[in-house]
Amino acid sequence: MKLTFAIQGGDFIHAGHPSSEVKKVLKQLNIDNKIIKNVVIALYEAEVNVVAHAYSGTVNVEIDENKITILVTDEGPGIPDIDLAMKPGYSTASKSVQEMGFGAGMGLPNIKKNTDEMWLETEVGKGTKVKMLNYFS
């Protein structure tokens, strides 16, 4: 089954909607609570990344019997140095974003920690694609 959501850059108020909806579905599918938690945390981080850095984005979720694959695509500045971005604590978030309690530099590291597989594709000046995969068992 598939789910699609749109994310608006800069809209911190509504960040978290896709992850809540995905959680609702996973709960109804009798998925282990710990796995649901991992998926929700990873997706929420990815959402906040789009909200904090990009102009707009989409979340495409695909769920089958054994796994959930989430593709978050954004139109934004892209990531100049992926290795640096993956480093815990490294952040390029603006001061105003950090004042709102975001941008602690844990986004990508947290996604990696909470997924079974993760791919990152980015083009500076164009945008970023994050693909996350979690198995149900």
Partner 1 sequence: MTEQTQYHALKVDAIKCIGCTHCMKSCPTEAIRVIKGLAVIDHESCVDCGQCHRVCPTNAFYVEQDDLAKIRGFKYRVILFPSIMIGQFPEKYSENQIYEGLMKIGFTHVYEVEQPLQLLIDSVKEYCANPVNTKPAISAYCPAIIRLIQSRYPSLTENIILRKAPYDLAAHFAIERFMLEGAQRDEIGLFYATPCIAKIASVKSPGGERESIVDGIINMNHLYNEVMKVISEDEAEDHSIQRQNLSSEGVLWSLTRGESRNFGSRSMAIDGIHNVVRFLERLENDQVKGIDFLELRACDQSCAGGILLTGNRFMNVERLERRARRYPLAKDIPFSNIKVDVEKLKQKLIIDSIHPKPVFIFGKDRIKAMEKIDRAQRIVCFLPGIDCGACGAPNCHALADDMVNNKAKMSDCIFLQQMWEDEGRITPNKAFLNVQKKWGTNRFKADCNKKGRRNEGF
Residues binding partner 1 (CB under 8 A): 1, 16, 19-20, 23, 25, 27-30, 33-34, 36-37, 40-41, 44, 63-65
Q: Smallest gap, in angstroms, from Cβ of residue 18 to partner 1?
A: 11
Dig out the tokens for 103 from the structure.
């941008």
Q: Smallest gap, in angstroms, from Cβ of residue 1 to partner 1?
A: 5
Q: Where are the alpha helices (DSSP H) in 54-106?
A: 82-85, 95-99
β-bridge pairing 67-75 and 56-63: antiparallel
In the complex with partner 1, the residue whose CB is nearer, 43 or 79, is 43
In the complex with partner 1, the residue whose CB is nearer, 47 or 79, is 47
Q: Smallest gap, in angstroms, from Cβ of residue 109 to partner 1?
A: 15
Rounded to 5, what percent of the chain is helix, strand, coil? 35, 30, 35
- Decide if 5 contacts 71 (C-beta within 8 A): no
CA-to-CA separations, 73 to 26, 102, 126, in angstroms, rounded? 22, 20, 11
Task: Using the Cα atoms of residue 75, residue 77, residue 80 and residue 86 in order, give the sign of their dihedral.
Answer: negative
In the complex with partner 1, the residue whose CB is nearer, 36 or 130, is 36
Q: Smallest gap, in angstroms, from Cβ of residue 29 to partner 1?
A: 5
In the complex with partner 1, the residue whose CB is nearer, 47 or 122, is 47
Q: Which amino acid is at 116?
A: D
Q: Smallest gap, in angstroms, from Cβ of residue 120 to partner 1?
A: 22
In the complex with partner 1, the residue whose CB is nearer, 4 or 121, is 4
